[in-house]
Chains A and B, each alone.
Chain A
Amino acid sequence: MTTAERPARAVVSRSHILELLTQMVRIRRFEEKCAELYTQEKIRGFLHLYIGEEAVATGVMQALTPEDAVVATYREHGHAIARGIPMTKIMAEMYGKQEGCSQGRGGSMHIFDADTRFYGGNAIVGGGLPLAIGLALADKMQKRSRVTACFFGEGAAAEGEFHESLNLASLWKLPVLFVCENNLYAMGTALDRSEAETDIHKKAEGYRIASRAVDGMNVVEVEGAAREAVAAIHETAQPHFLECRTYRFRPHSMFDPQLYRTKEEVEAARGHGPIKRLLDWGSETGFIHPSDLEAIEIAVAQEVDAAVAFAEAGTWEPVKDLIRDVVAAPAEAWR
């Protein structure tokens, strides 16, 4: 896609707004279904839900092309859905079935998809940043104009990798879009208890990376900022940094009694959630009609049900294939 085909601003049209709404609803209902399935022990291990943060993945993905790359964290179901990985394959992966996108080997925290250049699914906080700058380095060295979008939470700002990676990206002028999803809590630790400087995007400025903070609950604003940043990356061949201020409505993971924040705070945030905000704005401006949501919900419910059915019908990988995909050609000595 040329620069001309990549609009640098959010497209504001009824069809596009409905597209944004649909994506967010798809993510929301998928995550809610995952929560339900987890309580029934269909999904095991850790489950980190994206509920409340849908606008960030949805908005940023709009600015990327299929050739671009995405690196995300363990809270990546929304990113995977917005990136275009079929819900069926994601759900099967959550179940651990071999029809899942990682053949069931990864689970909730390790969604990978080569077709959409989706590089996980990384469970070490901050671990994806070096990977992202490496992908960008390869693009630059091979003179390809692709962008690598790297999503991470504000907790990663404390890790050494954050600083090393921002420094390298800036020093080597790598085409990386750093997207910090600041939901104010790194598991149970509030931002102001762990960072001397809580304005995350200012840290990027310390590495001479152009950066901006946006309202992560406003999907139109997020999309606009992402499109501008991507355009700038192509133009200036420099990385960019977006801090998206958001909030997660659910606990860090399923097994979290949320002793670190009040119920009132969560309720207040719910009142300003991304879907509600878009619906309110959409009805005010006339982009969204009263019947639109219902139609979307019906279609989404069917898609989610189909994904669950696909996962339920999925199969377990035979145990005899246990030692597989460790290296390309295992020597006998591996066993």
Chain B
Amino acid sequence: MTEITTTYREAVRGAIREAMQKDERVFLMGEDVGRYGGCYAVSMGLLEEFGEDRIRDTPLSESAFTGAGIGAAMGGMRPIVEVMTVNFSLLALDQIMNTAATFRHMSGGQFNVPVVIRMATGAGKQLAAQHSHSLEGWFAHIPGIRVVAPATLEDARGMLWTALEDPDPVLIFENALLYNRQGTLAADAGPVDLDRAAVRREGDQVTLVTYGGSLFKALDAAEALAGDGISAEVIDLRTLRPLDDATIIASVRKTRRAVIVDEGWRSGSLAAEISARIMEQAFWELDAPVCRVCSAEVPIPYPKHLEDAAIPQVPGIVQAARATLGK
């Protein structure tokens, strides 16, 4: 099997292009996706290939164009709505929560909303408080939508098609720091499943549960721990709603210790939800309280050293893992 060296960005672009080639109902809509080539250059070149109708630049009207994507999906299209970042999604929250997430239920199953909404997320570029949110945990709170966070190239390449085929709304969160990340990908990489978490590294002393941009920090932490003789298992959630309890619990049953790494703020975070589930389902197997490594309770600050201190980092993950072992 041939492999190519590529980036996360290119993997996402490849996914969009393939979807649009395979299904003429698919189109991309969002701010600066066309002429500008995409805020993160994801859709660079697609306007020339597919035209203005299908690579559709929108005015700065998050609520209207997200709602339009929802309506177009209900009208038979397969739109990919790109909200530039999760920070601007709050303007579209009403449409996401009160229309996309609720229509199937409110109509008694008569209507479904097969819309895909992609958003960049995460902190780390010194973009300060209003441009550094990680709200995927918030969205994972809402019944009626699926929330996914591709971290690897395979997932960046393969989740989009599966999401487009899903009859219900899917929110795809792409951590902005991953776009440049390089790696190898099978040349014929295709769609992947959505609902399973993946064990990215096997171990038997402590389980590190994470997703998205934090995956690589967790893997680095696992490597560091191995140097210390501590065997850590790393689980990539991949899908934040629904959570793959089975994979998480099987791992915790084996290792008896868990550390959850989540870039959302600690209070009321997705990590809190996972911790509760581990408590409910694996209480008797635990040898230590579940530990969480999350963002500090502060709007993300601008200066580098403070931003770094505010979000999860490898040393913090290593320290948390060691603490569960009483070291």
Complex Cα gap A160–B94 (Å): 12
CB distance A130 to B143 under 8 Å? no
Q: Find out whether the CB atom of A130 lies under 8 angstroms from the CB atom of B63.
A: yes
Q: Are A101 and B76 in contact (CB under 8 A)?
A: no
A328-B168, A331-B242 as given contacts; A133 in contact with B64, CB under 8 Å: yes
B59 x A110 contact (CB < 8 A) = no
CB closest chain-B residue, reference A110? B106
Known interface pairs A142-B77, A334-B143; A103-B108 also in contact (CB < 8 Å): yes
A164 to B106, CA, bound (A): 25
Partner of B67 from the list A101, A161, A330 (CB cut-off 8 Å) is A161
Bound complex: CA of A120 vs CA of B110, how far in Å? 11
> How many chain B residues have a CB neighbour from A under 8 Å?
49
Q: Does A298 contact B (CB under 8 A)?
A: no
Q: What are 8 residue pairs bridging A and B, where the CB atoms are less than 8 Å apart in the complex?
A: A102-B106, A123-B98, A133-B64, A137-B72, A161-B64, A325-B104, A327-B146, A328-B104
Confirm or deny: A134 has a beta carbon within 8 angstroms of a beta carbon on chain B: yes
A100 contacts partner chain B, Cβ-Cβ < 8 Å: yes
Query: A102-B106, A114-B110, A168-B59 given as contacts; is B71 within 8 A of A124 (CB)?
Result: no
Q: Is B65 an interface residue (CB 8 A)?
A: yes
Task: Give complex CA distance A9, B235 in Å.
Answer: 66
A102 touches B107 (CB 8 A): yes
Distance between B135 CB and nearest chain A CB, rounded to angstroms: 20
Q: Across the interface, name the chain B residue whose C-beta is closest to A333.
A: B242
Report how far A66 CA is from B166 CA in the complex, Å. 28
A130 near B106 with CB under 8 A, answer no
B205 CB, nearest partner CB in chain A, Å:
26
Q: Is the CB of A167 within 8 A of B59?
A: yes
Q: Which residues of A contact B53 (CB under 8 A)?
A: 141
> Is the pair A134, B98 in contact by a Cβ cutoff of 8 Å?
no
Chain A's nearest CB lies how many Å from the CB of B68? 4
Interface residues of A in 38-62 (CB under 8 A from B): none
Tell me, in angstroms, the Cα distance from A104 to B64 when the chains sit together.
29
- Residue A132 at the chain B interface, CB threshold 8 Å: yes
Separation of A175 and B95 alpha carbons in the complex (Å): 21
Give complex CA distance A214, B91 in Å. Answer: 33
B61 proximal to A (CB < 8 A): yes
Q: Which residue of A lies closest to B67 (CB)?
A: A130
- Cross-chain contact of A131 among B67, B106, B145 (Cβ < 8 A): B67
- CB neighbours (8 Å) of A304 from chain B are none
State which of B27, B70, B75, B106 has its C-beta within 8 Å of the C-beta of A120. B106
Which B residues fall within an 8 A CB radius of A?
Answer: 25, 27, 53, 58-59, 61, 63-77, 91, 94-95, 98-99, 103-112, 143-146, 166-168, 195, 242-246
Please list the residues of chain A having a beta carbon within 8 angstroms of any beta carbon in chain B.
Answer: 69, 100-106, 110, 112-114, 119-124, 127, 129-139, 141-142, 160-161, 164-165, 167-168, 171, 324-328, 330-334
Judge whether A112 and B106 touch: CB under 8 Å: yes
Minimum CB–CB distance from A104 to chain B (whole Å) comes to 7
CB pair B168 A327 closer than 8 Å? yes
Most chain A CB inside 10 Å of its own CB: which residue of B72, B95, B167: B72
B144–A138 CB distance below 8 A: no
Q: Are B98 and A127 in contact (CB under 8 A)?
A: yes
Q: Given A168-B61, A326-B104, A134 and B109 touching (CB < 8 A)?
A: no
B244 contacts which chain A residues (CB < 8 A)? 333
Leading 4 A-B pairs by shortest Cβ distance: A134-B71, A130-B67, A138-B75, A103-B108
Whole-angstrom distance between the Cβ of B297 and the nearest chain A Cβ = 28
A113 touches B110 (CB 8 A): yes
- Measured CB to CB, the nearest residue on chain B to A168 is B64
- Assess the A110–B167 pair: CB atoms within 8 A: no
Instruction: Give B98's nearest chain A residue, CB to CB.
Output: A124
Q: Which residues of A contact B91 (CB under 8 A)?
A: 160
> Is the beta-carbon distance between A130 and B242 smaller than 8 angstroms?
no
Residues of A within 8 A of B98 (CB): 123-124, 127
